[in-house]
Structure 1
Amino acid sequence: MFTRRESFSEYIRFYPVISILLALNIGIFILTWLPGIGGLVYYGGMGSNAAIATGEWWRFFTPMFLHLGFMHILFNMFCLFVFGPELEKIIGKMRFITLYLLSGLFANVATFFIHDYDYNHVGASGAIFGLFGAYGALVYYTKHALPQLRQVILPIIAISVVMTFLQPNVNVTAHITGLIVGFIIGLSYFNPKRIVSWRKPNR
């Protein structure tokens, strides 16, 4: 399920939303390293509770496309690359982008309300944890039908949560909020009654 065997062109064709998200994140990361403009992009878009308090509301959204270093973006984009395709295939393009953006958005909103006035943050981790949360909802509804998914995804979620609390300089609030929001959205997406309605032919 999580083994990627597609060629580059097949991956883009099969999973266009994830491909766009990968390109945006990587492209913006490269942009932030360019002299002059890089600092403007990074500091103008990072999550800053102080700036948000003065009315810069776009910072609820933009931090999920910024990263603080190579290992940071590598981990997040690897998770998106590996775990995103099955979700995009199962729930469709619009539901996937809704899941991703809302998980990241609420993660940043929670960060604003819970952390100190001078707290700053960047990263797509809230959105990535939203994907894990959605998988958790899928496991909840299919625990007997898809035991293999349960055996794979639950340890991944557990390890990710544990590492959240063990690693330094991690926005724990964003990770846990993204996970919870993704799970709630997933409960809606994977509700058996709703899935049946998806499968009804259009009139």
Structure 2
Amino acid sequence: MFTRTESFREFIRYYPIVSIIVGVHVFLYFLTILPIFPNRLLFEKLAGVNLYIAAGEYWRLVTPIVLHSGFSHMLFNSFSLVLFGPALERIIGKKKFMILYFSSGIAANIATFLIKPLTFIHVGSSGAIFGLFGFYIAIILFKKHLLSKQNTQIILTISAISLIMTFVQDNINVTAHIFGLITGIVIGAVFLTTEKAGF
């Protein structure tokens, strides 16, 4: 389930939403390092700056989801998406996967805006990634037959480790991680317990 055996072309064909999101991550990262591109401009216009959100720049509740602060940041989040996103895209479908991913990311950014000080600045898709973990937890709670015992153990272990690391690592947006996770669980509960969910 979490082992990728597809070729590059097969991966793109089977999981187009995950592929597009990762592609956007990589594209925006390379824009920030091209010498001909004013890299600060991208962060100035797209980063989650609470002060600017309060001033009415509400797109900053969305754009930080696809913007990262460096190569390792982008690589880690993209790798996490490639690892945990495809199974969910296949299980719930492209449309619901997009709703899950971006709703979790936006909810994480809204919580960051409401809880963190106006001077707080943030980028990264970790809130959306934690939304995926939350949805897997909802599967375990409401539709556990969709996951094998081994995959259930993997998800619970990685979710627990990720949550612990949230509190012990520096420069982590704890608020985004927690509210992304909660949003994923809530969306999962709604999708998985609705009669027309189609699972």
> Fold conserved (TM > 0.5)?
yes
Deviation at 1:149, TM superposition (A): 2.5
Q: How does 1:51-62 map to 2 (within 5 A)?
A: 51-62=52-63
Deviation at 1:99, TM superposition (A): 0.4
Deviation at 1:81, TM superposition (A): 0.4
Deviation at 1:147, TM superposition (A): 2.2
> What is the rounded CA distance, in whole Å, between the counterparts of 2:127 and 2:64 in structure 1?
10
5+ residue gaps, structure 2, are none
Partner of 1:117: 118
Deviation at 1:34, TM superposition (A): 2.3
TM-score by length of 2: 0.94
Partner of 2:187: 185
> What is the rounded CA distance, in whole Å, between the counterparts of 1:39 and 1:144 in structure 2?
47
Deviation at 1:144, TM superposition (A): 6.1
5+ residue gaps, structure 1, are none
Partner of 2:88: 87
Deviation at 1:109, TM superposition (A): 0.4
Partner residue of 1:165 out of 164, 167, 171: 167
Aligned residues with identical type, % of pairs: 51
SS in 2 for 1:116: coil
Q: How does 1:30-45 map to 2 (within 5 A)?
A: 30-35=30-35, 36-45=37-46
The number of residue pairs the alignment matches comes to: 197
> What is the rounded CA distance, in whole Å, between the counterparts of 2:114 and 2:55 in structure 1?
14
Alpha-carbon RMSD across the aligned residues, in angstroms, is 1.4
Moved over 6 A (4+): none
Partner of 1:69: 70
Partner of 1:174: 176
SS in 2 for 1:58: helix
TM-score by length of 1: 0.93
Partner of 1:28: 28
